Amino acid sequence: MTTRYKLTIAYDGTKFHGFQKQKDLRTVEGVLEKAITKIAATGEEIKVFASGRTDAGVHALGQVVHFDYPRELDPESMLRAINTLMPLDVLVKKSEIVDSDFHARFNVKKKTYMYRVDLGHYTDPFKRFYTGHYPYPIDVEKIKIALQDVVGEHDFTSFAAAGGVIDYKVRTIYSATVEYNKENNELVFEFTGNGFLYNMVRILVATLLEIGNGRRDVHDFLRLYEVKDRQQARGTAQASGLYLKQVFY
């Protein structure tokens, strides 16, 4: 008899080689599995399943994972036990016992990503790991018009990094917003959709910034959906600005 736990976790991705386990490299999955395996103390490695991977340098405010535990522990004790073993750049924010057919990846209904862009002329020493940097003039209104073209069901082939293994590249974006925060001179993007291709948010942001800077037509997204060509979208915004904010089931 095992008990399935769902964890909601936050991490600072700066010092991780991404989420997914890799031999001899520090990854979020690696530190989680090591801790849970230690708590279980059965000698068997406990495997963790996430809603999806995040790349090196990408952060999470609400990544979700599940795992099967050989006994039953109340969720709050599980949370405390794991956090005691976590390094300071990972924090379990919530722990729940779920049905044994819950799956952190397969049951995802939608996800929200946030992207922070620092518009300052120079890189801010305190933001270098936590924002992307775009030190060029931006017309936020142009970006807001372009975001209307992002919402909806589209073929995002032009916005998928080469190397992806998924053939079907149609995704639905339910909302796509940007806010300019005057106090810290940042743009904050949020995208909620039923799925995101590899590097898709970062490519969307790079394209949107070029639109805001006037280097692309405001409605260039309509053309990019048609041409289905990654070379046309070119840029990829820095990993450091990207946050997996929430996963919905």
Question: Which residues are part of a known binding site for substrate?
Answer: 113
- CA atoms of 152 and 175, how far apart (whole Å): 8
Question: Does the protein bind a copy of itself through residue 216 (CB under 8 A)?
Answer: no
Q: Which of residues 124 and 155 has its CB atom nearest to a copy of itself in the complex?
A: 124
Amino acid identity at 187: L
**Which residue of 5, 6, 8, 11 would you call a contact of a copy of itself, by CB under 8 A?**
11
Q: Residue 78, Cβ neighbours under 10 Å: how many?
A: 22
Phi and psi at residue 100, to the nearest 5°:
-70, -5
- CA atoms of 210 and 231, how far apart (whole Å): 15
In this chain, which stretch among 124-132, 146-154, 167-175, 209-217 interacts with a copy of itself, using CB under 8 A? 124-132
Strand-strand pairing, 242-248 and 186-193: unpaired
Q: Which of residues 61 and 108 has its CB atom nearest to a copy of itself in the complex?
A: 61
- CA atoms of 151 and 89, how far apart (whole Å): 33
Q: Annotated catalytic, 74?
A: no
**Which residue of 99, 122, 163, 165 would you call a contact of a copy of itself, by CB under 8 A?**
122
- Considering only residues 40-79, where is the footprint of a copy of itself by CB under 8 A? 59
Minimum distance from residue 16 beta carbon to a copy of itself (Å): 11
**Which residue of 130, 180, 198, 248 would you call a contact of a copy of itself, by CB under 8 A?**
130
- CA atoms of 156 and 204, how far apart (whole Å): 10
Applying CB under 8 A, the site for a copy of itself has a residue count of: 16
Question: Does the protein bind a copy of itself through residue 126 (CB under 8 A)?
Answer: yes
Q: Which of residues 56 and 161 has its CB atom nearest to a copy of itself in the complex?
A: 56
- Considering only residues 144-163, where is the footprint of a copy of itself by CB under 8 A? none
Q: Which two tokens stand for residue 6?
A: 């769902």
Q: How many CA atoms lie within 13 A of 71 on its CB side?
A: 10
- CA atoms of 36 and 3, how far apart (whole Å): 13
Question: Does the protein bind a copy of itself through residue 128 (CB under 8 A)?
Answer: yes
- Catalytically annotated residue among 55, 68, 124, 155: 55
In this chain, which stretch among 6-14, 45-53, 144-152, 210-218 interacts with a copy of itself, using CB under 8 A? 6-14
Total H helices, total E strands in the chain: 6, 10
Contact string (CB under 8 A) for a copy of itself, positions 78-97, x = contact: -----x----xxxx------
Strand-strand pairing, 3-11 and 90-98: antiparallel
